[in-house]
Structure 1
Amino acid sequence: MFRRSWRHAAAAAAVLLALSSVTACGDDSSDSEDLSENRVGAMENYAAGTQFKATEPLSFSVLYNNHPNYPLNEDWLFWTELKSRTNVSLEKVAVPLSDYNQKRSLLIGAGDAPLLIPKTYPPDVHAYVSSGAILPVSDYLDLMPNLKDKIEKWNLKPEIDTLRQQDGKFYLLPGLHEKPWHDYSLAVRTDILEELNLEVPKTWDEVYTMLKAMKAAYPDVYPFSDRWSQPNPAGNLLNLLAVSYGLEGAGWNFQHVSWNAQAQQFEYTGATEQYKQMLQYLNKLVAEKLLDPESFTQTDDLARQKLANSKSFVISANAQAVVNDYRPDLAATNPKAKITKIPLPIGPAGEINPASRLENGMMISSKARDSENFVAMMQFVDWLWYSDAGQEFAKWGVEGTTFVKDAAGKPKLAPEVDVVGLNPGAPKHLQKDFGFYNGVFAYGGKPELVQAFFSPEEQEFQQVMNARAPKSPPPPYPLNDEEREQVSLWETPLKDHVYQATLQFVLGQRDFAEWDAYVAELKSKNMDAYLTMVNEAHKRFQEKN
């Protein structure tokens, strides 16, 4: 939902203007609804920045994603402190992480879902809208002043509009980031760069130049041998290149359509000129033996072994992979080796940060609307998930117990508390022993909160990425139930063919002179009908809203 092409500022501005008007439609209808029977426990003067505390003890059920790294503990400080601050207790319906999506579907289908359903990603919502089981939360934003404040201050309306369904409403309260948070890029052996007197590459063209220099110095080595290729071939690498070429996504984030701002319509991602150029770039790397052809099929373990044994110098990475995988691997085989995650190389789309500012979020059961505590529940959700104080609490915990503040008021972990190795050897763990920094409750926020537990190295990476303009989201194209069912029948054959042809073009098994034939093959698999349906849905939504 967040990879797009931005070279036409006027057209993009027109789209955003239209979307701003969309945001004003269909929201805040609770102003005209009679909620007088649903205010038991609610605060009368609740506002942004106000500490929420129910006027009487309340309890709300929540679907709880039970993470194996910090299994649910009813004695956590999180629960007791949450009740102390808000007068609210949570009844957990605990589900193992591995079964979460399936169990959520079963509970909603049976009408047994808890009132609060967190850890839901935007595409997952589509399946539940037509049943009426999920609340159109956009109708009740006036009950959530912290959420409304962040949408306005952070100019998140265009992103929010991507959540809208055909009726103009949205059914998910998403996690919100002030700045996009992009993690994945390439890791490069910087000791090799120093040896060859090379700078860290800033563009994909410079990556090519770097790989050429490495190959010249080490002719028996494939400088770049990649991981994350199972089950999606070159899942990360293709996605990084796709967004750098102005597309919505490829590889493990393959998006069937990308918005063409100049033409003001959606195009099929795998048939665009940008996708062809991306594959030509990769084909050049393979043909010149700069990129290991096994990168598209090999296991992660094999890719790591090649890196550890200096059979390669470049590999896909995120922050954790560098610290937890690559550096320990290299320390065991080559203690002098140094490796660093570099900022995402810049491509034809320019200096953009491709990450979304939305994250997984909260669905609310439509049963909640009839509760006498409905307004109080919405105020509680607004405080815990969207207020600065609630977000700090969910992440850091309790001042003086799990964290302290320095002279400048900046929080830091208490010396006896560890998380992500920041205080190694500390006797207590923020997640396991206290229940804070829990993925059910802690996500989104200002950069200083989101990046609080990042290493100085990762914070430097994020500073570079945050200086880049965030990509604007494409306009909405909500499908109705019949259209969604039809599209689901087309998508798998189309995607499978794109994946197959991608490998053939990149590995030189198919000549680019056959590109038009490949596009014709996509047309035979209903590509044009797919695009017609998407573009008509987009126009229909614009006209209706």
Structure 2
Amino acid sequence: MQHISRRQALLGLGALTLAVAGCGEDEAPKKAADVSANKAGAMANYGVNQQFKATEPISFDVLYNNHPFYPDKSDWLFWQELTKRTNVTLKPVEVPLSDYDKKRGLLVGSGQAPLIIPKTYHPAEEAFVSSGAILPVSDYFDLMPNFKDKVAKWKMEAELDTLRQADGRIYLLPGLHEEVWVDYSLAVRTDILEKHKLAVPKTWDELYEVLKALKKEYPDLYPMTDRFGVPTPGGNLFKLVAQAYGAKGGWEYQHATFDSTAGKFVYTGAMPQYKQMLEYLAKLVKEKLLDPESFTQQDEQAKQKFNSGKSFVISANAQSIVNDYRPTLTKLVPGAKVAKIPVLMGPVGDYKIGTRLENGVMISKKALENKNFVAMMQFIDWLWYSDQGEEFAKWGVEGTTYTKDASGTYKIAKDIDFVGLNPGAPKHLQKDFGFSNGVFAYGGTTKLLNSTFSEEEVAFQDVMNARKPWPVEPPHPFNDEEREQATLWETPLKDYVTQQTLKFVLGERDLSEWDAYVKELEGKNMTSYISLVNSAYERFKKDHG
């Protein structure tokens, strides 16, 4: 795979230079708004890893994704200490996690959204670009020294390019990871493998052999059941298997995948590699190695099967091992052991597939009218992108919620628990203090990321970090007219791919009908859609790359 050349404008040439670089030959230069009159509360000499503190007390509304595991509390130490350190008071506009995306869309579309809109995953921001409801944040990167520093230091220009819209601008401030972070994989009952003298699988073919051996020992059980199938069928499992063949599936499914050999995008759901994923999974289901309910059952059903010893393999991330499996499993099945294994490999080899970008922050267009706009951008830069802000959001207050020794190793306070670091402690870092909150704590150095991991999770990350990162795909942003047309095509295409994927995997449709399926996609404008994608890709490459 290949990607277009990286533009260095965002690393210090200034907002105006960046805006000019984001214009095609026939377009007028896009200029950043003059914010010289909106500096109230801003620091005159704010810089990298410098504590931001507004020169006067200020406050901003923030859209708040209210997580049911740690619902917002007004007396959290997070809110109090944040104001103490920055002179900024955040006023959360609470929206339930279950309704966040829909409510955010309604608020932004109606112009009623708070100034700061976090927890937005690309490409969700694209829906608000043409209306001008959100700011082209790349025009204001010069107000964010920590953001720019990390992009330059970690060579993240290519990743940022994937966020650019047809005008060359970026409308979402993403979380930045130093390295690709892989969290989701499979959990296996290692005690069962040991009992039957089976090695921990390293490839999908080896998993197939392990499941066959377990089926022979436990003919009345499905050796594997899965979760994360609602609302996206096969969310994690399809993603992982597709990656192994060089495609995109499940949570990661996108209509277009870049074919580096051909130098153009192809339709993902019609790729030979996508078919290979289906063939593999259909084989597991047909041979009764994989529970056919895996793709549609609720998580609780899947967990119940696994934790009661009725299956031995299930999707997992670091927290599910600690919170969902081990405590219940070891109570119900004495002597049981479970571990998250490194992501299984397939034909593409030992790649680590993922992104260094996280969900991010949109800024309402109303922010430009706020006298504290510059201070707000400095504040966002400190909280989400400075080393100190990221440490604060994740760990809290040194001496109260954690300690740190001379080597920089973090240790949670004795009376506080988080992800099983201190099981049985009376307080919880998220529930009682508001730290490690998904609205504010993501991104940062690998050392900070690993700081809350158990030894077994660090070992998992060491294996994954030794693998080669998958190349970044080139941008192909649509202009307004193309986006309108693409939107009409995308939903029926996605729905049909999802529907037929399940039918193929469950054996309700034979894979001998693959060619007929591809023709059916053509009947739903697949070819026209991919032509649109490639036109956008070629235009963007010509104008910007």
Q: Return the TM-score normalized by structure 2.
A: 0.91
Displacement of 1:156:
1.2
| 1:274 match | 273
2:273 and 2:417 mapped to 1: Cα distance? 45
Give the superposition deviation at 1:301: 4.0
Whole-Å separation in 2 of the counterparts to 1:186 and 1:37: 54
Residue of structure 2 in register with 1:452 after alignment: 451
Letter of the 2:61 counterpart: S
Name the CA distance, whole Å, in 2 between partners of 1:228 and 1:40.
47
Q: Which residue of 2 aligns with 1:3?
A: none
What does 1:390-539 correspond to in 2, within 5 Å? 390-539=389-538
Instruction: Name the CA distance, whole Å, in 2 between partners of 1:536 and 1:364.
Output: 29
User: For each residue in 1:301-348, what CA deviation from the matched residue of structure 2 results, as whole angstroms up to 9, or x when unmatched?
Assistant: 443344345443222222233333333443344212222111110112
Amino acid at match of 2:91: E
Q: Does the 8 A contact of 1:257 with 1:266 survive in 2?
A: yes
Q: What is the CA–CA distance in structure 2 between the aligned matches of 1:430 and 1:81, rounded to whole Å? A: 14
- The aligned residue for residue 138 of structure 1 is 138
Contact kept, 8 Å, 2:9 with 2:17, in 1: the verdict is: no
Whether the 8 Å CA contact 2:64–2:92 is kept in 1: the answer is: yes
Give the direction of change, closer, same or farther, for the CA distance of 1:61–1:228 in structure 2 (3 Å limit).
closer
C-alpha separation between the residues in 1 aligned to 2:433 and 2:324? 27
Q: CA deviation at 1:239?
A: 1.1
Moved more, 507-516 or 399-408: 507-516
**Is residue 16 of structure 2 the alignment partner of residue 29 of structure 1?**
yes
Question: Could you report, residue by residue, the CA deviation over 1:453-477 in whole angstroms, capped at 9, with x for unpaired residues?
Answer: 2222222212211222222321111
Q: CA deviation at 1:128?
A: 1.1
Offset of 1:285 from its aligned partner?
A: 2.3
1:60 aligns with 2:47: no
Secondary structure, counterpart of 2:37 in structure 1: helix
> What is residue 173 of structure 1 aligned with on the other side?
173
2: CA distance, partners of 1:94 / 1:289: 45
| 1:231, distance to aligned residue in structure 2 (A) | 3.8
Between the aligned partners of 1:527 and 1:77, the Cα distance in structure 2 is 52
Q: 1:80 to 1:472 in 2, by over 3 A?
A: same
Q: Per-residue displacement from partner, 1:23-52 (whole Å, max 9, x unpaired)?
A: 679962289865432333222222112122
CA–CA separation in structure 2 for the residues paired with 1:518 and 1:471: 29
Paired position in structure 1 for 2:51: 51
Taking the TM superposition and a 5 Å limit, the aligned residue runs for 1:293-372 are: 293-372=292-371
Following the alignment from structure 1 to structure 2, what is the Cα–Cα distance between the partners of residues 175 and 156? 11
8 Å contact kept, 2:11–2:148: no
Displacement of 1:358 after TM fit?
Answer: 1.0
Q: What is residue 222 of structure 1 aligned with on the other side?
A: 222
Residue in 1 that maps onto 2:24: none
CA distance in 2, matches of 1:139, 1:213: 58
C-alpha separation in 2, matches of 1:525 and 1:72:
45
SS in structure 1 at match of 2:123? helix
How far did 1:486 drift?
2.1
Cα gap change, 1:153/1:189 in structure 2, threshold over 3 Å: closer, same or farther? same
d(CA) in 1 for partners of 2:74, 2:329: 41
Query: What is aligned with 2:26?
Result: none
Q: d(CA) in 2 for partners of 1:396 and 1:225?
A: 35
Q: What amino acid does structure 2 have at the position aligned with 1:74?
A: S
The Cα of 1:299 is off from its aligned counterpart by 4.1
The aligned residue for residue 239 of structure 1 is: 239
CA distance in 2, matches of 1:72, 1:111: 24
Q: Is 1:150 paired with 2:150?
A: yes
**In 2, Cα distance between equivalents of 1:463 and 1:519:** 40
SS at match of 1:363: strand
Runs of at least 5 residues in structure 2 that lack an aligned partner in the other structure: 19-30
SS in 1 for 2:376: helix
- For the residues of structure 2 that align with 1:61 and 1:300, how far apart are their CA atoms? 34
The amino acid that maps onto 2:182 is H
Residue 193 (structure 1) aligns with: 193
Alpha-carbon distance change, 495 to 154 in structure 1, aligned in 2, over 3 angstroms: same
CA gap of 1:24–1:87, structure 2 versus 1, over 3 A, is closer
Equivalents in 2 of 1:74, 1:331: separation in Å? 37
Give the aligned residue type for 2:390.
Q
User: Partners of 2:310 and 2:77 in 1: how far apart?
Assistant: 48
Q: Displacement, 1:273?
A: 0.7
1:160-190 superposed Cα distances (whole Å, 9 cap, x missing partner): 1111111100111111111122222111111
d(CA) in 2 for partners of 1:141, 1:285:
49
Give, as a single letter, the amino acid of the residue that structure 1 aligns with 2:478.
L
State the AA in 2 paired with 1:232: T
Alignment root-mean-square deviation, CA: 2.4
8 Å Cα contact 1:30/1:140 also seen in 2: no
Q: Distance in 2 between matches of 1:189 and 1:489?
A: 45
The aligned amino acid for 1:115 is L
User: Match of 1:99?
Assistant: 99
Three-state SS of the structure 2 residue aligned to 1:38 is coil
Residue type matched to 1:167 in 2?
Answer: D
- After superposing the two structures, state which structure 1 stretch, 164-173 or 186-195, moved more: 186-195
SS at match of 1:37: coil
User: What is the letter of the counterpart of residue 29 of structure 1?
Assistant: L
- Shifted more, 465-474 versus 285-294: the winner is 285-294
Q: How has the CA–CA distance of structure 1 residues 506 and 143 changed in structure 2, closer, same or farther, with 3 Å as cutoff?
A: same
Q: Distance in 1 between matches of 2:375 and 2:127?
A: 28
- Whole-Å separation in 2 of the counterparts to 1:435 and 1:302: 30
Change (3 A) 1:281 1:105: closer
Comparing 390-399 with 305-314, greater Cα deviation is found at 305-314
What does residue 183 of structure 1 align with? 183
Deviates more, 1:151-160 or 1:40-49: 40-49
Deviates more, 1:131-140 or 1:93-102: 93-102
Distance 1:398 1:348, change over 3 A: same
2:127 aligned partner, one-letter code: A
Matched-pair contact (CA < 8 Å) for 1:25–1:168: no
Q: Equivalents in 1 of 2:526, 2:13: separation in Å?
A: 32
Distance verdict in 2 for CA 1:348–1:20, change over 3 Å: farther
**Cα separation, 2, equivalents of 1:88 and 1:298:** 44
Aligned residues: 531
Q: Distance in 2 between matches of 1:160 and 1:418?
A: 35
CA contact (8 A) 1:26 1:138 kept: no
CA contact (8 A) 1:343 1:461 kept: yes
Partner of 2:118: 118
Do the aligned residues in 2 keep the contact of 1:43 with 1:53 (CA within 8 Å)? Answer: yes
> Following TM superposition, by how much is the alpha carbon of 1:150 offset from its aligned partner in structure 2, in angstroms?
0.6
Matched residues in 2 for 1:341 and 1:496: separation? 32
Cα pair distance change 1:302/1:411, threshold 3 Å: closer
Q: Scaled by the length of structure 1, what TM-score is found?
A: 0.91
Deviates more, 1:463-472 or 1:171-180: 463-472
